[in-house]
Chain A
Amino acid sequence: MKSKFYLLLILPTFFLIFGVKLFPISIIVLLSFYETTARISFDKPVGLENFISLLVEDRFLNNLRVTLIFVAETVIITLALSVALALALQRGGKLSSLARTLILLAWVIMGIAAAMMWRLAFDFFAGAINGILYFMGFPKVNLLLSPISALQAMIVTAVWRYTPFATILLWAGLKSIEREYYESAKVDGASRLQQFRYITLPLLKTTLLTVLLLLTIYSFYATEIPLALTGGGPFLSTETLSLRLYREAFEYFAWGRASAISIFLFALNLVIGLGYIRIYRGRR
């Protein structure tokens, strides 16, 4: 009796979470098998056509390629930078609390505002970056003109945006590691690198996995950065899957195709996430 009452108490929460979340997901899965041209409707079933037509489309394959490069580079660079920053914050000092506040500012700014800010910074005519180059006597560069540099500009923006969040999480993880381990290691003559490798990294593994997962998900779903920074250009060379999804849904009103893309994204995230967990469990 007591256990059933306990369940009854948490039932409303389950209802809210699963009912409210699962229903939109069900609609999206259903919609992916239909063709729509303006409003969401279930008039024209097309089976797997939405999925197949995407897989054979050059533009979609390019979206996939760009997304994977964007995610991989963003995650790797952000992780490396956040670990370094977290270690620096961990050392403490007079300015560490000020540094933590300043670092968080980038996270507090809305994603779209951050992307627009960087767009201005990269602007060839009036941007801060070219202003600095010009002041230093270097020629101006148009980073948004070539597909390669435009993609790197997107990655710089994403790293700037996500590093604070990852740093704070990692710093919290570092705080939870007991000082005695480091003191014992010091007594035993371990160098800083050895302490990092044999104490910090193993004990930080759970936090690292969490940060890795979150960064991957955020990067996959980062629509505001390509939208505001490059618009997917030049010539769609920086259009990610999330931006493509946005366009299919909200500009072309092709809800069926947009749903199919969202399922692709979900599947990609799921595979990568499960991969992370498998690697993590394998090394325990």
Chain B
Amino acid sequence: MSEPKKVGRRTFLNYAIAVVVTGVIVGAATYFAVPKGVTTVTAPGTTVTTTKTVTTTVTGTPTTSRTITMPPTVKELRLRHFYDLTLKDNRATAYNLVLSTFKQKYGVDVTVERLPYDKLDVKWIADFEARTMPELSLISPQYQPVHWRAGSLQPLNEYLDTLTSKEKEDLGLAKSVIDGYHTFDGKIIGLPFEIHTRAIFYRRNLLEAVGLTDLVNKLETKGVSDLDDLLNVARTIKKESKGKNPVTGGEMFPGLLHYYDVRGLVELYWAPFLWYYGGELYESPTGKASWHKGDAPIKATKYVVTWFSEELTPMDMLTTDAPTTRKQLVDGRLAMFIDGNYALPYYRSQGMDEKTLGIFKLPTKVFTNSWSIGMSPIIPQDRKDASWMFIKHWVIDMMPDFAATYGAAIPTTYSALERPELKTGTTGYYFNILKDVAEKNAKAIKHEHYAGLLDTLGPVLQKIVAEKITDEKEIASRLEKAANAFNEKFYP
């Protein structure tokens, strides 16, 4: 048998180039041939430069209201979520109640896929690009402008028009967050299922154990009057608890905040103080950074640094995350922590109640947001109708039962507020304070470049705190540099 002829280098290269070129042509043709909708629309903080027409990804949308019923063709829906529904806490019970009653009522299974909360939106948009996505997902309030720009959420106006006037009135409790977070150019792209707000949780029984009964009475009846009062409360706790902490034997750190999560530290632990002193994070409607303007940011920053420089908050909190900090509070090493209503199921599961874990309001505006349920715009019409049935079931029909069972959610309907479980007992104790905060002290952070804004400002604040800088010129200079960097990057 003769040996095969050797392949010449030129021949080999010719074939290889032919394959490569074929691959690129086929791939490019496949990509560009698929029609895509592109919009550039106004979101708060955006200056519209161009607008393009959305090509059809939303099909079969009627122009008049129609009666929505559960399509018989739909037997299963998929919901993306970030809570662990296998935990034995009130939240899991409440969520499972919604899912099970939906199945009982409509015979439709809702399968839950769990993702970390900071990955839900990213995955939703990536799946939208890939044209393969579940029907429903929890959507972060801060990423709503991005979803609007991407066209990755189905507007719900058509479905909201089918509600009765009584249902619309009931949903009116959530109007401010719907308008503030989930509406763009008149289109509502998600409905909130609970409102998140924050207050100061503190170890009531431990403070009483070290002899601070009068302080506890003050916090329970009057709260704190201003930021200086809050600081003095912290100083008193640290001083009076020294050597007397019934749990650790040492002192009790007032704690208050952790600085590991750069986004959390801006939203929860700096912005409220900025607002207190009259500052704003960004200009509206342009969205340009304004966190460096005036003396409000300097006062807010010096205030936070004081908590660390006086060791009211241990420096280690710079590397501690929220779950670890909660554990420190439960274990009695920390006396106080600014936390959200969503943390209550954890605290309750650790045996905390109104006698062991008190709550009082921050003397400032408080970052308040609302996660929403959003629907895919590229699913068939029957699955859209079924998805709407689920959203309505949760946000309106089941909201009273959901809120009463959860005991920590600030609900979205007036009818839910009437539930006696939310007015009395341990649940009522926490709920009344949190509802008061949501009604009177709420403030939103809604920015089209939310992640970029917080990632630009957060590390600068972290460093100022870590280095305990109190020089006003230095603080002003660093904040201004960060603001300029943000504006140059996003608003050149």
* Residues in A lying within 8 Å of B, measured CB to CB: 2-3, 6-7, 11, 14-15, 18-20, 22-23, 26-27, 37-41, 43, 53, 57-59, 123-126, 142, 144-145, 231, 233-236, 247, 250-253
Which A residue sits closest to B331, measured CB to CB?
Answer: A125
Neighbour of A126 across the interface among B5, B324, B463, CB < 8 A: B324
Which of A3, A23, A37, A39 is in CB contact (< 8 Å) with B23?
Answer: A23
Q: How far is the CB of A12 from chain B (nearest CB, A)?
A: 9
CB-defined contacts of A125 to chain B, threshold 8 Å? 316, 320, 324, 327-328
Interface residues of B (CB under 8 A from A): 4-7, 11-12, 15-16, 19-20, 22-24, 26-28, 31, 36, 38, 40, 50, 52, 118, 122, 125-126, 128-129, 146-147, 149-152, 260-262, 315-316, 318-320, 324, 327-328, 448-449, 451-452, 455, 458-460, 462-463, 466, 485, 489
B-side contacts of A40, CB under 8 Å = 129
Given A6-B4, A43-B52, A235-B466 in contact, is the A11-B262 Cβ separation under 8 Å? no
Contact of B50 among A26, A27, A43 (CB under 8 A): A43
B463→A145 contact, CB < 8 A? no
- Residue contacts A-B, CB under 8 angstroms, 23 given: A3-B4, A6-B4, A7-B15, A14-B19, A15-B19, A15-B22, A18-B16, A18-B20, A19-B24, A23-B27, A37-B146, A37-B448, A38-B147, A39-B149, A41-B36, A124-B320, A142-B315, A231-B261, A234-B318, A234-B462, A235-B458, A252-B449, A253-B125
**Closest B residue, CB atoms, query A14:** B19
The answer on a CB contact under 8 Å between B24 and A26 is yes
Report whether A235 and B459 are in contact in the complex, using a CB–CB cutoff of 8 Å: yes
CA separation between A58 and B458, bound complex, in Å? Answer: 15
List 6 tightest A-B contacts by C-beta distance, closest first. A19-B23, A23-B27, A38-B150, A235-B459, A38-B149, A235-B463
Determine the distance from Cα of A11 to Cα of B4 in the docked complex, in whole angstroms: 17
The answer to whether B16 touches A14 (Cβ under 8 A) is yes
Q: Is the CB of B15 within 8 A of A252?
A: no
Cβ contact within 8 Å between B15 and A11? yes
Report yes or no: B319 in contact with A142, Cβ–Cβ below 8 A. yes
A178 to B449, CA, bound (A): 62
Residues of A within 8 A of B152 (CB): 38-39
Q: How far is the CA of A230 from the CA of B126 in the complex (A)?
A: 25
Asked whether, in the complex, the Cβ of B122 is within 8 Å of the Cβ of A251, the reply is: yes
CA distance A251 to B318 in the complex (A): 22
Contact call B315/A23, Cβ cutoff below 8 A: no
Partner of B315, one of A57, A145, A247: A145
The residue on A at minimum CB distance from B465 is: A235
What are the residues of chain B within 8 A of A39 when measuring CB–CB? 36, 38, 125, 128-129, 149-152
Contact pick for A253, options B12, B23, B38, B146, CB 8 Å: B146
When distances are taken between beta carbons in the complex, the residues of chain B under 8 Å from A38 are: 125, 146-147, 149-150, 152
Complex interface: chain A residues within 8 A of B31 (CB): 23, 27
**Complex Cα spacing A59 to B460, Å:** 11
Closest to B14 in A: A7
Tell me the bound Cα distance from A39 to B55 in angstroms.
14
Q: Report yes or no: A15 in contact with B460, Cβ–Cβ below 8 A.
A: no
CB distance from A249 to the nearest CB of B (A): 9
In the assembled complex, which residues on chain B have CB atoms less than 8 Å from the CB atom of A235? 262, 458-460, 462-463, 466
Contact A145–B466 (Cβ < 8 Å): yes
Given contacts A145-B466, A253-B146, contact A41 B451 (CB under 8 A): no
Does the CB pair B455–A247 fall under 8 Å?
yes
Q: Kindly list chain B residues whose C-beta atoms are within 8 Å of the C-beta of A126.
A: 324, 327
Q: Which B residue sits closest to A146, measured CB to CB?
A: B466
